[in-house]
Amino acid sequence: MAKTFVLKTAAAQADRKWHVVDVAGLTLGRAATQIAHVLRGKHKPTFTPNVDSGDFVVVLNAAKIALTGKKMETKLYYRHSLFPGGLTTFTAEQLLARNPVELIERAVWGMLPKGPLGRRIVKKLKVYAGTEHPHGAQSPSQLAVKTDR
């Protein structure tokens, strides 16, 4: 009978890799699911649900992400100031124009576990609106994002 493999936290931190993804022209949801998959560590054979065993992901060209259908005009995002009547609503188009990094961060965060583990995992996501990033010293490898279903 085979024993169940459980990854220790120290071993998970030692085996981290860096990946870079160019999301220009890709669909937001399809790219976000694959980014969350790598951040969580589900692509590794040593995946353990309660341990942060994922890799770092650098996302480039966030300003050129695509949404299907009429989602640019109809998809709504919310922010609250914690004061009475402080709910602010804005569309995906407004968010993309104002802060394209936040659009991708919100999409990926929605696909990660909530709580302390998810907050630790989302810190490994680095998103940039353009093509330049300061993580060249980590020599990130290109992550192939599938565009079809």
Task: Kindly report, residue by residue over 48-92, the tens digit of the pLDDT.
Answer: 899 999 999 999 999 999 999 999 999 999 999 999 999 999 999
Count how many domains the chain has. Answer: 1
What would the DSSP string read from start to end of 7-62?
--HHHHHHT--EEEEE-TT-BHHHHHHHHHHHHHTTTSTT--TTS----EEEEE-G
Give the pLDDT of residue 92.
97
Q: How confident is the model at residue 22 (pLDDT cuts 50, 70, 90)?
A: very high
Domain at 53, CATH number: 3.90.1180.10
Q: Is residue 83 part of a domain?
A: no
d(CA 5, CA 20): 29
pLDDT at 28: 96
Quick check: is 44 in a domain?
Answer: yes
d(CA 16, CA 58): 13
Range of the domain at 39: 17-68+100-142
Paired with 90 in beta bridges are: 77
Tell me the longest C-alpha to C-alpha distance in the chain: 60
Q: Is this model's pTM higher than 0.75 or not?
A: yes
Confidence class of residue 149 from pLDDT cuts 50, 70 and 90?
low
Using CA of residue 59, residue 68, residue 41, residue 116, what is the dihedral sign? positive
Residue 130 lies in a domain: yes
Nearest 10 degrees: Cα torsion 82, 98, 135, 55: 60
